[in-house]
Amino acid sequence: MGELRDFLHEQATNQLLKYAAGKQMFCPMCNKVLDWKTTAILEVSHEVHGKKSQVGCVKCVDTPAVKERMKKFTDLGFTFEIIKYTP
């Protein structure tokens, strides 16, 4: 049963990335064209402010500078999740 759940989660994630890449088209940080395999979604959630997401390429979203900012905001009660393609 776990294998089926993992397969469905992987397929749903891939479809989400394809949709996000098609809707955004360009990375807002480096202005390169997004491909669904190089797209990352940064989700930020807070119990008061709700949930927001930012779409960009993996190279821009998964950087040490972004991770440092994530650590600072985690202390304020924010939670982060980076959704990206895993082969």
What is the pLDDT averaged over residues 56-76? 90
Does residue 75 carry a pLDDT above 90? Answer: no
DSSP string, 19-83: HHHHHH-B-TTT-PBP-TTSEEEEEEEETTTEEEEEEEEHHHHSSHHHHHHHHHHHTTT-EEEEE
pLDDT tens-digit profile of 2-58?
A: 899 999 999 999 999 999 999 999 999 999 999 999 999 999 999 888 999 999 999
**CATH architecture of structural domain 2-84:** 2-Layer Sandwich (3.30)
Residue 31 has what pLDDT?
A: 94
pLDDT for the residue 42? 92
- Averaged over 51-74, what is the pLDDT? 90
pTM, two decimal places:
0.82
